[in-house]
């Protein structure tokens, strides 16, 4: 019999991930502060809980996919929070948080009799919809292995990263590279454009050599058009790069490229671009040239 899943957080990523669990035949109960977001999933067969605690009582595995620690703390430990109903159960946090917070969360849930699986994802909106995410899982290894059918309903690969907190460390490592790469891509194309090169020629050159990658291929049309529909909102990249810098301070890592990139993402957020795709760091650079 398939495990009963409780899914909290139905934003860009969570909605698609919960839908894929339903398509794979799992019994799913969903909760979201905005109840309107539960309706499409209810139409697919999900139950809609009135509170996180009700969701916890109705599941074997609770999954969270929300914006960060504040939302997680509210869902688990706030009024009608899920934590008290998770004794003897698993809580899988797939949200992007710092490694330090993940370790603290594991300890808090252990005090409630629950086990945390720290399992953020690599991938954005389209991979989430297609069930092609990469799951960066950490916690007790056998427990992670036992969740393989659940993870495989949402992703194409599961990478075991170590004890709780190491999944978040891997996620920050990936987003460190992603944020710096996007910043560098936008900067290089703007540099070439100011020197008289066409966007098409630059992208063709980059995609024809060792620097070719799917991310650049996907983001190039956004930069060319000046439209940045969100697959991964810029405000979330700024948040994650702040976690990266905080973690680097704790570990003693020297990361000047990430620090420079964070400054530009923060500037973009301050200019009202936070809800656009993180490729909108390009627009922030262009706006700087205008003064």
Exactly one of 171, 219, 235, 283 is catalytic; name it: 171
Which residue in this structure is represented by tokens 């650049």?
216
| Residue 157 annotated to the active site | no
The count of other CB atoms within 10 Å of the CB of residue 192 is 17
- Please report, for residues 83, 128, 166, the alpha-carbon distance to residue 88 in angstroms, rounded to integers and kept in the order given: 11, 29, 23
Active site residues: 171
């Amino acid at each position: 019999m398939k495990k009963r899943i409780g899914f909290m957080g139905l934003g860009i990523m969570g909605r698609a991930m919960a839908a894929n669990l339903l398509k794979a035949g799992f019994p799913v109960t969903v909760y979201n502060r905005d109840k309107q977001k539960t309706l499409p999933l209810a139409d697919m067969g999900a139950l809609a809980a009135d509170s996180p605690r009700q969701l916890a009582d109705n599941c074997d595995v609770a999954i969270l996919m929300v914006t960060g620690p504040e939302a997680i703390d509210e869902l688990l430990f706030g009024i009608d929070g899920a934590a008290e109903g998770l004794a003897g159960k698993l809580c899988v946090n797939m949200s992007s948080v710092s490694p330090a917070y993940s370790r603290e969360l594991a300890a808090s849930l252990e005090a409630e009799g629950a086990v945390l699986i720290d399992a953020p994802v690599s991938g954005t909106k389209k991979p989430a919809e297609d069930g092609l995410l990469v799951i960066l899982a950490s916690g007790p290894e056998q427990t992670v292995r036992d969740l393989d059918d659940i993870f495989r309903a949402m992703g194409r690969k599961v990478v075991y990263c170590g004890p709780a907190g190491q999944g978040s460390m891997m996620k920050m490592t990936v987003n460190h590279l992603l944020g710096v790469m996007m910043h560098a891509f936008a900067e290089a194309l703007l540099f070439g454009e100011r020197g008289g090169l066409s966007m098409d020629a630059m992208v063709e050159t980059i995609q024809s050599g060792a620097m070719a990658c799917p991310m650049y291929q996907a983001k190039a049309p956004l930069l060319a058009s000046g439209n940045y529909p969100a697959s991964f909102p810029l405000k979330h990249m700024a948040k994650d790069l702040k976690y990266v810098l905080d973690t680097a301070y704790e570990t003693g890592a020297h990361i000047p490229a990430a620090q420079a990139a964070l400054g530009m993402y923060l500037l973009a957020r301050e200019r009202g671009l936070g809800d656009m795709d993180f490729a909108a760091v390009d627009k922030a650079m262009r706006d700087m040239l205008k003064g």
